[in-house]
Homo-oligomer: A and B are copies of this chain.
Amino acid sequence: MSTSATPRERLLDAAGELFYRDGVNIGVDALCKAAGVSKKSMYQLFRSKDELIAESLASRGPAYQTMLHPGAEDDRPPRERILTVFDRQDAMVAAGNYLGCPYVSTAVELKNPEHPGSVVARHFKQQLTDFFHRELVKAGAEDPAMLAVQLTMIFDGAAARAVVRAQPLGGIGATTAAALLDAAGVQAGELALS
């Protein structure tokens, strides 16, 4: 437990990790202990545990996206940029420390779709769909909106396979996404006709 970061950052980090690994039902005591922060401080920084759940999900969004999405400097064609997301997910599954999409898992545990954490989860899923949509528009796909949703669905399906520990079938997410892109005519190297 490094004391370098501020108590708020330490709490958000510990929350992001423990809520993901042990579920949102982990106690505040364990959380504060892991963060090296007293409960008093925690309740001064966050109104409630529910707010901490939402804030920790939101705070990890950018890092999570950087981990999944290819950067702007990656100038490969849209199809490759899209498949990169699935390749990176596959790599996390293969590494063995992937317990499903943190946003979907948290939404599953919270049940209530109006919970602030569920709202963040919905927002993040939309951002993934938006990324796919942008790439598909660049590729000149015929129905980018629907295809983007389909890709997001495959992403979450692959995550579910990891959760239930189904017999691993390496690269099944990327394979399926590629099949869908093929069917939609988004081919390797194809770019918009701009």
Any B CB within 8 A of the CB of A84: no
Contact call A166/B125, Cβ cutoff below 8 A? yes
Which single member of B101, B121, B164 contacts A125 (CB below 8 Å)?
Answer: B164
A21-B111, A179-B184 known, 9 other contacts, Cβ within 8 Å: A23-B111, A118-B165, A150-B175, A152-B157, A152-B161, A153-B161, A153-B172, A153-B176, A155-B157
Q: Tell me the minimal C-beta distance from A91 to chain B in angstroms.
A: 17
Chain B neighbourhood of A21, CB < 8 A: 111
Residue of B nearest to A159 (CB): B160
Mark each residue of chain A from 114 to 127: 1 if its CB lies under 8 Å from any CB of chain B, else 0.
Answer: 00001001100110
